[in-house]
Structure 1
Amino acid sequence: MMFSGGCQCGAVRFTVVGKLGRASICHCRMCQKAFGGPFGALVSARIAEVTWTRGDPRRFASSNKVQRGFCGDCGTPLTFEYAGDWIDLSIFALDDPGVAPPSLQLSPEARQGWIDHVGEIPVRDLSEGQAGAAHYAGIVSNQHPDHDTETWPER
């Protein structure tokens, strides 16, 4: 099995050759801040099976035991690194995040109460209608595609 992923700008890319481990979402305040969201979604992989194929993540010691890897160019959260043979990778940094559905929630005491009601929040599809066309008019994405490229940005 092989999985690939990387940051938003494409400066850091990785592959995992092997099985992915436990997928979880963590509601702790450190994950909320590191991911800039209500939780961190992470999947474990054996360090020996992870190869950084373009660039290397920068790291921040978010505690005395944990380092968090991120892209130094665009800031995309990439890893949660604790001692041992495993590394946790951001699920949404994977090219196909659907391969790692979370099966466990961690730190529920810090979980935001509104998470339970996300499905009830009204939806506005910006890709349809006049408002959507105006919103997207002229936007050119600089985001790296969800697959490996020989060079980036492409010329």
Structure 2
Amino acid sequence: MTGGCQCGRIRYAARVDSDEAYLCHCRMCQRATGGFAAAFVEVPTSAVVWEHEPDWYQSSPIARRPFCSVCGTPLGFDFIESNGRMDLTFGSFDDPSGFRPVVHAGSEGLHEAWLDTKNLPRQYSAATESVASRWKAAGLEVP
């Protein structure tokens, strides 16, 4: 499978052996992604080929995170003392639709109100005037 950052500077190809993904709710992942959780897919480190080496941030004494320093996209998580496996961010895959969440990690930071959102109203970008009109003014379709 392939993936990369938002601006396209960092691209990767990864051999993915499973459709399993997970959410990490720890405060480190919340801060690293700016979200209520980080969504990850675990892969063998040796199965990831970077077309352009990502930037790395040592986010704690035990881990580092690949990212793009141009657009800021978080690309994953890796223990410094590697166990031969690392995580790639779900959203950085070109087509993440085949993955399914199987576990909540870092549950001490879990925010229950953000888990079951099925009853919230849904807004679609192409139908949201403030978004769609800006894309149209830029001469582009809503991605």
Pair in the same fold by TM > 0.5: yes
1:149 aligns to what? none
TM-fit CA distance, 1:60:
1.1
Identity of aligned residues (%): 32
Unaligned runs of 5+ in 1: 146-155
Residue number in structure 2 paired with 1:8: 6
Quote how far apart the aligned CAs of 1:132 are. 6.1
Alignment of 1:117-132 (within 5 A): 117-128=116-127
Secondary structure at the counterpart of residue 5 of structure 1 = strand
Distance 1:114 1:20 in 2: 29
Name the SS for the 1:72 alignment partner: coil
Distance change in 2, residues 1:124/1:99 (3 Å): closer
| Mapping for residues 1-155 of structure 1, pairs under 5 Å | 3-20=1-18, 22-53=20-51, 55-82=52-79, 83-128=82-127, 133-139=132-138
Judged with a 3 Å threshold, the aligned counterparts in structure 2 of structure 1 residues 51 and 140 are, in CA distance, closer, same or farther, namely farther
Deviates more, 1:90-99 or 1:120-129: 120-129
Contact 1:23 1:44 in 2 (8 A): yes
C-alpha displacement at 1:126, in angstroms?
Answer: 3.9
CA distance in 2 between counterparts of 1:7 and 1:44 reads: 18
Give the direction of change, closer, same or farther, for the CA distance of 1:129–1:70 in structure 2 (3 Å limit). Answer: closer
Q: Structure 1 residues 135, 118: closer, same or farther in 2, change over 3 A?
A: farther
What is the Cα-based RMSD across aligned positions, in Å? 2.3
Decide whether aligned partners of structure 1 residues 49 and 116 sit closer, same or farther in structure 2, where only a CA change above 3 A counts.
Answer: closer
Aligned to 1:150: none
Residues 21 and 44, structure 1, Cα contact 8 Å, conserved in 2:
no
CA contact (8 A) 1:125 1:132 kept: no
Q: TM-score, normalised by structure 2?
A: 0.85
CA contact (8 A) 1:26 1:39 kept: yes
Give the conservation status (yes or no) of the 8 Å contact 2:19–2:100. no
- How many residues align? The count is 139
CA contact (8 A) 1:25 1:41 kept: yes
